[in-house]
Structure 1
Amino acid sequence: MAKILVTGGTGHLGRDLVPALNEAGHIVRLLVRKAGQDDSVEWAIGDLATGEGIDEALGGVDTVIHAATLSPIARRGMRPIDFFSSPASVDIEGTRHLLAASQRAGVGHFIFVSIVGLEFSGLPYARVKLAGEQLVRESPLPWSVIRATPFYYLLAQMLGGLKWLPVWPLPTSPSNPVDTRDVGSYLAEAAGDGKRGVWPEIGGPETMPFSTFARQYCQALGIKRFILPLPFSRKMSRSMGLVETGERRGERTWRAWLSEQSQSARSAKAA
């Protein structure tokens, strides 16, 4: 049993990671700016951007899982500004603060959650995230880097933004996005393993053209849209974040995830 400090524990990934860690028998402490009500975890008040409260949060901690990130695109969709800049307060400065405090606390394992194909993307957010990853790789701490393909919820968010269009021109580039539950289970495995360094990348169980993911999305929602397949070069596809990996595959398919989301929406509406 280890005491694990998790950043980003209240986000999409964190909400699946924390139960996986609890199930594995770990004591979980979340670094947050405002404490929650869940008594299955410990709450530590701190701020990655300023470094405030991090030293106190690391008291007695064996392992850190740094899952926090600041992606404006994930929060509210793509906007023109995202092609020019992305905030570095969490992914670079926050990572630097957390690494320094972890070294002072003698943390035995620092796990960084990253993204497949960062080095190929031209988006400012990808460059910021990659810079944070590089800080971890250069740290004297025992570290692990685990890269995942984009999450299903992000794919659904992006496709949802296209609903107003009758025609969806989408690339045929292969990709295999992944469920956050599969990534959470993988991180929990890494927290209890003695391995350090770069872990195999994780993606979803199915590699398909991006346009096929869109077709399945429309089918699941019962909406009719014309999908216009567009062939893109591999270089252009990766620069747009359309990536794939076969190193490790999750279990939950896109169709299964969509079905769960539809059932949850119907249940919420009925209630």
Structure 2
Amino acid sequence: MLDRFARVLCAVVVFTVAGVVHASDTACPQFFQGEQAPDLIDTSLAERTTVVCNDAYALIASGVTKGPLWSAEHLTAAQIADAQNTPRKDAFHAETAIPDEDRSQLADYKGSGYDRGHMTPSGDEPNATAQKQSFSLANMVPQNHTLNTGKWERIETSLRTLVTEDGEAWVVTGPAFDGPTPDTIGADAVIVPNYTWKAVYIPAEGGAAVWRCSNVDAPVCAVVSVDTIIDETGIDPFPTLSATVKSKAISLPLPN
């Protein structure tokens, strides 16, 4: 429900209520469907947030979770073609565009048992500079290794195939939290999500849906509606879409 994230984070920090975040708060509306950034409907999420605009994606970093609340991209077939010609070069780094006290650090992940899980994947990035930006820890959450290298990676690949066929998609990816006492890693108390999700709107199909996967050793993934992820996270990835589109999930391939 909308208060689920707030209940989780209240175990970590006392909130002050902040306003809903809109696209007017960013300098990079080109990454958002309808040029409007995802809404933080649960206003408690807006505590200690920083929007970061990169060359090929944007994110909002949380000083409470020490990771992204969402990471957004306008993925095109041309971008994917360029990305396929860009060799991967790992460059994990702390994000200097957010306050030091709100950052996660490489040391937080060391020995944690979790991968540094990309939200916007490096495999979507069209050149070396954009790819390096995707390795920001502000674009990472602690992700189970089995999920990260298995079903999640196959979801990312499936989406690139869909975009190659359909031309473009608007994509918003993020973590979801559940339960009153969140697990954390490292000295900076980076919060471990219970789920990760990837919302997609495909203009050629006129519809949207969300992949959602549990962040565990034996992950379970499902395809749900945008309305479902709004209810579960307090985040609306596509504020300008119609209620009809948000209420019904289009068909997306599920990984084995």
- TM normalised by structure 1 equals 0.34
Greater C-alpha radius of gyration: 1
**Greater RCO, CA 8 A, separation 6+:** 2
More helix by share: 1
Q: Comparing both structures, which one devotes a greater share of its residues to strand?
A: 2
